[in-house]
Amino acid sequence: MKPPGRRVWLFDLDNTLHDASAASFAPTNVAMTQYIVDHLGVSHEEAGSLRQHYWLHYGATMLGLVRHHGVKASHFLETTHQLPGLESRLRTSAHDRAVLRRLGGRKYILTNAPRNYALRVLNTLRLADCFDGVISVEDMRMFGHHRPKPDARMFRHMAARLKVPPHRCTLVEDTLEHQKSARSVGMHTVWMQRYWPAEAGVRPSKRPAYVCARIKSLQRLLAL
């Protein structure tokens, strides 16, 4: 599956480079639900349903709140990602830093999380210097609108921004919907299955056609 020319790697962050299910997902979901309660005046049950609905429909709860309720994206992200004690909960593989440094080509973080959160995670895990840059949800804008993963237009736009054709990009990601969208624009896709959350149920046994490879450790990337 090796693309021609110098490769550009696009790495998701949560549940790809660290165990976000244990470190941040639960408190972030609580904070987002409370934000919806406080700003929309609905019950906790309604807020939880709305948070989940917008996440499934748009790929980011923030996008639904911005589009339908006039919420300011920067305020939502700052409020919901304070996450006290995050650093003490962060875990990753001890070998990841060495693998990322050996991996040829340019490497970027591509995450639907806000920049400040991404930098906290990367700095705590000592992974920040392994990457050429961080593309966060604040950066995923086109014509004044947020276009987070899995928006195919955003994948094309990011490739153009990095001055590389999509077929020379490889997305390493745990979310299949994002993989499917990236593959539709010609990117290579690697499905990370190391951190499979319990709430997701049984891990699929078959590799979808739009997934070029699936891995459980970054070490496998060196052979691709």
Rounded Cα distance, 10 and 13, in Å: 10
Give the model's confidence band at 143: pLDDT under 50 very low, under 70 low, under 90 confident, else very high. Answer: confident
First-to-last CA distance in the chain? Answer: 7
Parallel/antiparallel/unpaired status of strands 133-135 and 141-142? unpaired
List C-alpha distances in Å: 126 to 12, 163, 168.
Answer: 16, 27, 27
Parallel/antiparallel/unpaired status of strands 169-173 and 145-146? unpaired
Q: Tell me the three state secondary structure of residue 14.
A: strand
Rounded Cα distance, 11 and 49, in Å: 29
Mean pLDDT of 218-223: 95
CB 186 within 8 A of CB 24: no
Per-residue model confidence (pLDDT) at position 169: 98
CB 30 within 8 A of CB 52: no
Per-residue model confidence (pLDDT) at position 190: 98
Domains of the chain, earliest start first:
8-20+91-223 (3.40.50.1000), 25-82 (1.10.150.450)
Write phi, then psi, for 107 (nearest 5 degrees).
-130, 130
Per-residue model confidence (pLDDT) at position 5: 61
pTM: 0.92
Write out pLDDT tens, residues 25-42: 999 999 999 999 999 999
Rounded Cα distance, 87 and 123, in Å: 9
List C-alpha distances in Å: 155 to 7, 11, 18, 201.
Answer: 15, 13, 23, 28
Q: Tell me the three state secondary structure of residue 147.
A: coil
Give yes or no for residue 1 having a pLDDT over 60.
no
Rounded Cα distance, 219 and 64, in Å: 37
Give yes or no for residue 202 having a pLDDT over 70.
no
